[in-house]
Structure 1
Amino acid sequence: MHISLHGLVRGSDIELGRDADTGGQIQYVIELARALAGLDAVERVDLLTRRIDDPRVDDSYRSEEELLGADGRARIVRVPFGPRRYLRKERLWPYLDCFVDLALQYVRKVGRLPDVIHAHYADAGQAGARLAALLGVPFIFTGHSLGREKRRLLMGQGQQEAQIERRYHISRRIEAEEHALDLASLVVASTRQEAEGQYALYDNHKHRRVAVIPPGVDIARFRPAGKGDRVDDCGCDIARFLRHPRRPWILALARADERKNLATLVKAYGAHPRLREQANLVIVAGVRERIGELDKGAAQVWRELLELIDDYDLYGHVAYPKQHAPDHVPCIYRSAAASGGLFVNPAWTEPFGLTLIEAAASGLPVVATDDGGPQEILRHCRNGLLIDPHDAEALGRSLSDALSDRRRWRLWSQRGLQGVRQHYTWKGHAEHYLRELARISRQRQRRRVQRSRLPTVDRMLICDIDNTLIGDRESLVRLSQVVAEAGDSLAFGIATGRRLDSAVRVLKEWGAPVPDVLITAVGSEVHYGTGTQADHEWSQHIDFRWDRDAIIETLRGLPGMRLQPASEQRRHKVSYYADPVRMPGVPAIRRALRRRGVHVNVIYSHQAYIDILPIRASKGLAVRFVADRWGLSIDHVLVAGDSGNDEEMLIGHSLGVVVGNHSAELERLKGLKRIYFAQATHAAGVLEGIEHYQFLGRIRQPRYD
């Protein structure tokens, strides 16, 4: 499963350069999905992105699925999270948790777990890391463009940190990248400079495994001109701009983004009279109808370019077409190569540079920024020059010099073709990628990492720990065998008043089954797997109207109530020892808190403890939240308990079991149709309940009279 959330993602006619969010990353994830699906070892590739229903964009972005090949092994899946309209990436952050929930529903619909989740860019990194942790599957991250490096460059250009923060939400982006990197089993980078320089700016980088796997290029689309190819008309009507259309082209193909530094290129060309006589400048920077309809950044870039063209009086020397289709791009490269021209990338920073290998595959030599990806591409292909993107005068001289030596131009053209075939094919990329995945798989097998069964199960058993699950070792062994034999059809969980570390410890001591879900601290916390992955959605959900200081102040001095030690207090739980003789009744405690304006759940158990929880929190509510989150019907959930703090999870439409050694607080539940009072105690009572409901076969649902 690949995740790439922003921009406009589709399999054909990709609108590269439409805006700052629809660039090389989109091309990369589409080509990678196709390349992986072409390998025998890969059964299926899903690329999850955002569904968009907006009259400003094409209807294709509202379709739920799009196949990326006739065999159906790769597909785009569009998830409808957040508003329906198209949003720039900086506005997606509030909706990422919605994506995670809907992606879980999609996994359940598929009916199997992905073997790996690979997230692209910071927004998908944050969401993908959480999804992978919930599912217990390996997580891979590719940043594409990293926030720390971007902030460093922008500040180097004189922008203030506060300004950068307002425009790009850069601190949130960096924290999302840090979170993704914390959970990643592997980071995929395009260049060694990116791996060793840019990722090194992040915390804990020394302990992170980074694989350098350069992207590929479709050499069937991007190739030199052959017999019968027309290179004089690519559908863009470039010739109409030019006084001498047969002169070599200096081609720049990039988004209208200030980082692409197109203004410096125009200055370099305009200030160099000989270069103006040697070649035409062709700038293909996205598509536009009217500059005023572009986003603010792109409009500003175009206004600056047009002012420079006017200042240097470059009319007849510069082509800047308003429209081009994706299918025109290979022809544009071939036309530039046929003219004896150059491809130039003057960007301030370039993480990789897909356009450079597209140009090389077309036989077009390159002049590129001495930053990031171009350094390695030129080292492999030896098909051009590296330049300082800040020095317009030197850039002009380099372009003129590169065009002057025709023998060297032909050598560069041939080297580029050879270098691409040797280093930059998608088949080679995909094969290298799978070798890295095999290493991750072997490491996880050695560590015995548990994958979640929650997306595939159709029923769930939830047990309290003390005096329910544990207390009789012999019956616990029998219950553990039953859970193991049920396999992937049954999820097992615990719901306890214990804190997480205490619950994990006692389960290990007793040899209990490893839970798929842990509801701890009387339902105020939910974790998955071995307890390392908290359900942050639950924590946010129960934070509603929670005021622990007001609780402690209100109950201070009440007779028969004493705060438990700090080790037993949790973020969403205030716990007391209770003297049943001296304490006021539970209704009186609730009344005192309500009069203070504090709305909570008060849980009284074992005639000795009182736990104050948020109004939305309890074991029962947590059980229902987990069932809903993972798409389980509540009547396929069996809960077992023994005391008052289990009452709320026992009642309702779930199937309840009260073990034989229960406390007196639960006697009042006798007679309820969906609660079975077992004769056997501890885990034997749970087994009796499983048998009563035929829970591992065709479940017997009690009927009301």
Structure 2
Amino acid sequence: MRLKIECEVRVENDTNRVSGNRILNTMDRLNSSPRLMLVSDLDHTMVDHHDPENSSLLRFNALWEAHYRQDSLLVFSTGRSPTLYNQLRKEKPMITPDIAIMSVGTEITYGKSMVPDDGWVQFLNQKWDKDIVIEETSKFPELKPQAETEQRPHKVSFYVQKDKAQSVTQALSKVLEGRGLNVKIIYSGGIDLDVLPNGAGKGQALAYLLKKFETEGKPPLNTLACGDSGNDAELFSIPGVYGVMVSNAQEELLQWHSENAKDNPNILHASERCASGIIQAIGHFNLGLNLSPRDVSDIGREDSSPSLEIVNFALLLEKWRRAEIENTELFIAGLKATVLPSGTYIHPSGSVYNIKEYINMFGKVYGDKKGKQFRTWVDDVLATQLAPGTWLMKFNKWELCGEERKGCAVTSILSKKDSDWYTLVHVHQTWLEHSGQGEWFL
């Protein structure tokens, strides 16, 4: 309860005073309040490091891009520094969040460019002196400093043995308080100990964002927080927030739940791991559709949307190349029926093709990824209606085969007349910066 009060009071008192980056760029694409604001931890929550196929993460990606990206907000809240966060994005098939909360709630950034929130930085500077923290923690031999990349302006991080954590935390708190600092010490993962400004943390960062959205006149209709470890407990303490502890949640989070929230119906201990548990929670709390396109064996055309069409087309090509669907003339004919006969396709290399003629080449790649860890996913799908029945689609398309990763920025045009299927009119692809290049097939 103490955490809940601190979050409400501090943000209420400081939001109007703190200047800095506004969040209009994040919110401009939304005509109204976000339908769902999903706030998720990464390691062992969104990302399952024991799933080499990344199955649950890819299921979530397809669900979000098909049914939520257009009118909702995705927030990643991680203990990782920006350096390790970007490293994880290179290793795993992750989609791009609208907002990233990093370094255990001490850094907030917006959009693809990760623009920092200067107002949050100013807020955290109060009663914080990193030099004093370093000086005093150096007197505790039990604390082993983490890598330099994990030492941030408002976070000093250590490793500590589990049996030493409680005594060190209590002693260090008294010492730093005596030096005039107002700090918070978070122990998580059975080994990580972080010293932060008392106003920092994942919960405080979320409360700060919710207050800013309210100030902009677009508070989320629903918010779902997702986590697995002790540093996620604060997320579940924010008033009005739904919470899910994934099935593989760690002991310290389960203990917190037992002591503080076991009778709270808005917090679920999922029966499924990681991102699959997040999908489960969306359905459990009736926050929206929780059937991922990857869970649909027969891709139909009913209740489709431009975003779902893009996701499904990418999944069809993945299944084709993995030989998970039958190689028939009927399949090729069905693909041709979904494109404009005079439509154009511009390959990342710059070569220009007639779309229908390009589809004739699909037979060459059938099953070429069979038995391999080959996956495709789309990211940051944005649909803009140009005219009745016509949409401009912009997104990134990625392929991962083993450790080889390639990506393209895609611009396409879809059209739809009355109850007809969506028709692909135009596709233009360009290689993404820092992406591997070479073989690429739509």
AA matched with 2:280: E
Counterpart in the other structure of 2:249 = 662
Contact 1:606–1:663, Cα closer than 8 Å, also in 2? yes
Counterpart in the other structure of 2:87 = 505
Counterpart in the other structure of 2:55 = 474
Contact 1:460–1:638, Cα closer than 8 Å, also in 2? yes
Distance 1:681 1:561, change over 3 A: same
Distance 1:568 1:454, change over 3 A: farther
**SS of residue in 1 equivalent to 2:163:** coil
Counterpart in the other structure of 1:75 = none
Counterpart in the other structure of 2:278 = 686
Contact 1:678–1:688, Cα closer than 8 Å, also in 2? yes
**SS of residue in 2 equivalent to 1:493:** strand
- CA distance in structure 1 between the partners assigned to 2:17 and 2:186 by the alignment: 34
AA matched with 2:213: W
**SS of residue in 1 equivalent to 2:207:** helix
The offset of 1:458, in angstroms, is: 3.4
Residue 169 of structure 2 is aligned with which of 586, 593, 613?
Answer: 586
For the pair 1:643 / 2:229, whether they are aligned, the reply is: yes
Counterpart in the other structure of 2:159 = 577
Name structure 2 gaps, 5 residues minimum.
1-14, 291-442
The offset of 1:100, in angstroms, is: 10
Distance 1:510 1:628, change over 3 A: same
Counterpart in the other structure of 2:288 = 696
The offset of 1:475, in angstroms, is: 1.1
Contact 2:34–2:221, Cα closer than 8 Å, also in 1? no
- CA distance in structure 1 between the partners assigned to 2:150 and 2:188 by the alignment: 15
- CA distance in structure 2 between the partners assigned to 1:625 and 1:99 by the alignment: 12
Counterpart in the other structure of 1:568 = 150
Contact 1:500–1:531, Cα closer than 8 Å, also in 2? no
For the pair 1:608 / 2:191, whether they are aligned, the reply is: yes
Q: Deviations over 1:546-598 (max 9, x none)?
A: 11111122222213112222211111111111122345242332222212222
The offset of 1:523, in angstroms, is: 0.3
AA matched with 1:467: H
- CA distance in structure 2 between the partners assigned to 1:590 and 1:98 by the alignment: 30
Distance 1:549 1:540, change over 3 A: same
The offset of 1:689, in angstroms, is: 1.1
Distance 1:100 1:522, change over 3 A: closer
Structure that is richer in strand per residue: 2
The offset of 1:454, in angstroms, is: 9.4
- CA distance in structure 1 between the partners assigned to 2:37 and 2:162 by the alignment: 35
Counterpart in the other structure of 2:38 = 461
Distance 1:483 1:589, change over 3 A: same
Contact 1:462–1:494, Cα closer than 8 Å, also in 2? yes
Counterpart in the other structure of 1:624 = 207
Matched ranges for 1:514-553 at <5 A: 514-553=96-135
AA matched with 2:45: T
Name structure 1 gaps, 5 residues minimum.
1-96, 102-126, 138-450, 699-705
Q: Deviations over 1:513-545 (max 9, x none)?
A: 210000000000000102431111111111111
Q: TM-score, normalised by structure 1?
A: 0.35
- CA distance in structure 1 between the partners assigned to 2:89 and 2:184 by the alignment: 27
Q: TM-score, normalised by structure 2?
A: 0.55
**SS of residue in 1 equivalent to 2:76:** strand
AA matched with 1:465: L
The offset of 1:99, in angstroms, is: 11
- CA distance in structure 2 between the partners assigned to 1:695 and 1:678 by the alignment: 15
Contact 2:34–2:73, Cα closer than 8 Å, also in 1? yes
- CA distance in structure 1 between the partners assigned to 2:17 and 2:168 by the alignment: 44
Counterpart in the other structure of 2:269 = 677
Q: Which has the larger radius of gyration?
A: 1
Distance 1:622 1:454, change over 3 A: farther
- CA distance in structure 1 between the partners assigned to 2:173 and 2:31 by the alignment: 36
Contact 1:661–1:681, Cα closer than 8 Å, also in 2? yes
Distance 1:655 1:454, change over 3 A: farther
Contact 1:517–1:528, Cα closer than 8 Å, also in 2? yes
Q: Give the fraction of aligned pairs with identical amino acids, expressed as a percent.
A: 30
Number of aligned residue pairs: 261
For CA contacts below 8 A with separation 6 or more, give which structure has more relative contact order.
Answer: 2
Distance 1:678 1:565, change over 3 A: same
Matched ranges for 1:228-243 at <5 A: none
Counterpart in the other structure of 2:362 = none
Counterpart in the other structure of 2:68 = 486
Structure that is richer in helix per residue: 1
Distance 1:586 1:454, change over 3 A: farther
Q: Deviations over 1:245-267 (max 9, x none)?
A: xxxxxxxxxxxxxxxxxxxxxxx
State the superposition RMSD in angstroms: 2.7
- CA distance in structure 2 between the partners assigned to 1:455 and 1:576 by the alignment: 42
Single out whichever of 651-660 and 631-640 deviates more from structure 2: 631-640
Contact 2:35–2:220, Cα closer than 8 Å, also in 1? no
